[in-house]
């Protein structure tokens, strides 16, 4: 076979990396290269340098070091039993691509993942070497390293010292599914590795007896990804597992990735279109749990089918199902209740709280401050509006459901 060019490898190894949803480059410590001795900066908030036609942000050079893999995870295009062509980047090739792309302002940094080559420790060490070489050459941009769960503690520590973020994928919503579809992966070991990352981070955050810190360990924290739609776990299970992970390991993010058809698929998984709306609703629910003080049981009832409503967003679904809690008087209600009004985000609520100290707020004021009045209208009372019978109308839900597109016949 002819030797692969770097372009051939890039095509293969980025194609293989696209099933990882995360592309975040935010939340790390602030750095710059104003001193002229290095390259790169981080500002705390991420930057999307381009958007692909799938609507997803391209912030990082997201590639695999190699797509050779000794594992056989059914949902993965790189599993050992797949017939995709294989390639492997050298350390220097990844370093070159990252810095040259970075110099042209194409990316914020590198998100490096990999198939398992030879052994977990060998693979992890090669990945760590890439991050360490970049840092040694003065690269101050963002680095996200996928961590291999059974890599040694020493390698995980080195990874965290070179990278901004570490992530270990939980892969599937239940332990049973992991065992069924990723036979070589061990959910207990995956969680153990997340625990190691959390505890190492806490050790580094503690000041020594001299009041100095030992260094920065993964300043942008850790994240994970769960594939939805490959097994039959319902949304209650998915969100329940996610909130447990947030609590136990202090994760910055849990990413939900709709299982999407892969070339050269395994026979045990469905080749249907990815459940994109379900994925979207899961992210919305995740946000309500973390920033709007909703409890899991309020968002998905475990006695039903445990699924989120696909037609309306989870906050609207909650409001429709709990109409006795409405209407909310925008000029009097507490912050917690304002946050539960459909169409009001955290920023709008803060603005309403500031504005109403200077006089009663009306519908037009809310519109000016950026609230979605159409969604909020049936659920609120303002100085110039009462929902009247609208709130109890049978057809209320239908007003918020997008009509299905008509097809040509």
Partner 1 sequence: MFAPRLPRIGTFEAWRDTARRLTLANVPVHEVDWGIAGEDEALFDAPLPEARGEIKVPAQFAPLARNLIPVRSGEGMALGYALLTRLQKERGLLSREADPNVARARELAKAIRRDIHKMHAFVRFREVDGPTGRRAFAAWFEPDHRIEEEVAEFFANRFGDMDWRIETPEVTITHAGGALRLEARGGVRPAAGDPLEELWTTYYSNIFNPARLKPDAMRAEMPRKYWRNLPETRAIPSLIADARARVTRMQEAGPSMPAPATLRRKEHAMPRASDEEPGLPLDDAAPTLPQLARDASACTRCPLYEPATQVVFGEGPANAPLMVVGEQPGDREDISGRPFVGPAGQLFNEVAAQAGLDREQAYVTNAVKHFKYVQRGKRRIHQKPAASEISACRWWLEQELSSVNPDLVLAMGATALHALTGNGAGILKRRSALEQTRDGRDLFVTVHPSYLLRLPDEDLRESETARFRDDLSRVQELLEERAA
Pick from 2, 3, 7, 389 the residue near partner 1 by CB under 8 A.
Answer: 7
Residues 366-385 that bind partner 1 (CB under 8 A): 366, 368-370
The label of the residue with tokens 């990815």 reads 274
Least Å distance, CB 323 to partner 1, is: 26
The label of the residue with tokens 């930057």 reads 47
Residues 236-295 that bind partner 1 (CB under 8 A): 243-244, 246-250, 258, 260-267, 271-274, 276, 289-290, 293
With contact defined as beta carbons under 8 Å apart, do 62 and 52 qualify? no
C-alpha radius of gyration, the chain, whole number: 24
Pick from 1, 2, 3, 34 the residue near partner 1 by CB under 8 A.
Answer: 34
With contact defined as beta carbons under 8 Å apart, do 194 and 168 qualify? yes
By CB under 8 A, which span of 220-228, 320-328, 333-341, 350-358 interacts with partner 1? Answer: 350-358
Tell me the per-residue interface mask from 108 to 147 with partner 1, x by CB under 8 A, - otherwise. Answer: -----------x------------------x---------
Cis ω for the linkage preceding 327 (within 30 of 0): yes
Give the span between the Cα atoms of 230 and 222, in whole angstroms: 24
Residues 60-79 that bind partner 1 (CB under 8 A): 61-63, 70-72
By CB under 8 A, which span of 100-108, 152-160, 220-228, 323-331 interacts with partner 1? Answer: 100-108
Give the N- to C-terminal CA distance of the chain in Å, as an integer.
50
Query: Residue 33 or 133: which CB sits closer to partner 1?
Result: 33
> Per rule CB under 8 A, is residue 337 in the interface with partner 1?
no
> Per rule CB under 8 A, is residue 336 in the interface with partner 1?
no
> Per rule CB under 8 A, is residue 159 in the interface with partner 1?
no
Give the span between the Cα atoms of 229 and 235, in whole angstroms: 10
Q: What is the DSSP string of 28-97?
A: ---B--TTSSSB--B-SS----EE-TTS-EE-EEEEESB---S---TT-TTSTT------B--HHHHHHH
> Per rule CB under 8 A, is residue 153 in the interface with partner 1?
no
> Per rule CB under 8 A, is residue 11 in the interface with partner 1?
yes
Phi first, then psi: give them for residue 223, nearest 5 degrees: -140, 175
Pick from 27, 40, 173, 342 the residue near partner 1 by CB under 8 A.
Answer: 40
Residues 180-239 that bind partner 1 (CB under 8 A): 184, 186, 188, 191-192, 195, 198-199
DSSP-based three-state secondary structure for 207: coil
């Amino acid at each position: 076979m002819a030797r692969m060019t770097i372009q051939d490898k890039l095509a293969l190894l980025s194609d293989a990396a696209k099933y990882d949803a995360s592309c975040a480059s935010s939340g790390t410590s602030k750095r710059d290269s104003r001193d002229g001795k290095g390259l790169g900066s981080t500002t705390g908030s991420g930057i999307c340098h381009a958007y692909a036609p799938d609507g997803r942000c391209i912030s990082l050079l997201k590639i695999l070091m190699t797509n050779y893999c000794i594992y056989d995870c059914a949902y993965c295009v790189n599993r050992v039993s797949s017939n995709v062509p294989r390639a492997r980047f050298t350390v220097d090739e990844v370093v070159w691509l990252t810095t040259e792309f970075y110099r042209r302002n194409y990316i914020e940094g590198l998100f490096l993942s990999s198939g398992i080559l030879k052994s977990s420790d060998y693979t992890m060490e090669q990945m760590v070497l890439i991050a360490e070489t970049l840092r040694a050459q003065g690269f101050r941009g963002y680095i996200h390293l996928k961590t291999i769960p059974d890599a040694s503690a020493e390698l995980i520590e080195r990874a965290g010292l070179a990278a901004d973020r570490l992530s270990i994928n939980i892969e599937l919503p239940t332990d049973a599914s992991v065992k069924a579809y990723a036979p070589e992966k061990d959910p207990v070991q995956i969680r153990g590795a997340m625990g190691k990352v959390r505890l190492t981070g806490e050790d580094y955050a503690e000041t020594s007896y001299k009041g100095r810190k030992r260094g920065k360990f993964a300043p942008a924290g850790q994240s994970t990804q769960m594939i939805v739609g490959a097994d039959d776990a319902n949304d209650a299970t998915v969100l329940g597992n996610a909130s447990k992970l947030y609590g136990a390991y202090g994760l910055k993010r849990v990413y939900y990735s709709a299982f999407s058809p892969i070339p050269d698929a395994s026979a045990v998984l469905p080749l249907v279109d990815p459940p994109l709306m379900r994925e979207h609703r899961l992210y919305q629910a995740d946000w309500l749990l973390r920033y709007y003080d909703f409890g899991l049981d309020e968002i998905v009832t475990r006695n039903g089918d445990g699924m989120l409503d696909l037609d309306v967003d989870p906050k609207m679904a909650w409001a429709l199902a709990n109409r006795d809690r409405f209407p909310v008087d925008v000029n009097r209600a507490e912050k917690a209740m304002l946050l539960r009004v459909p169409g009001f985000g955290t920023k709008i609520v803060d603005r309403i709280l500031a504005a109403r100290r200077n006089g009663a707020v009306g519908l037009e004021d809310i519109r000016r401050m950026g609230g979605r009045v159409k969604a909020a209208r049936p659920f609120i009372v303002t100085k110039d509006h009462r929902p009247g019978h609208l709130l109890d109308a049978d057809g209320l839900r239908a007003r918020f459901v997008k009509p299905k597109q008509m097809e040509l016949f």
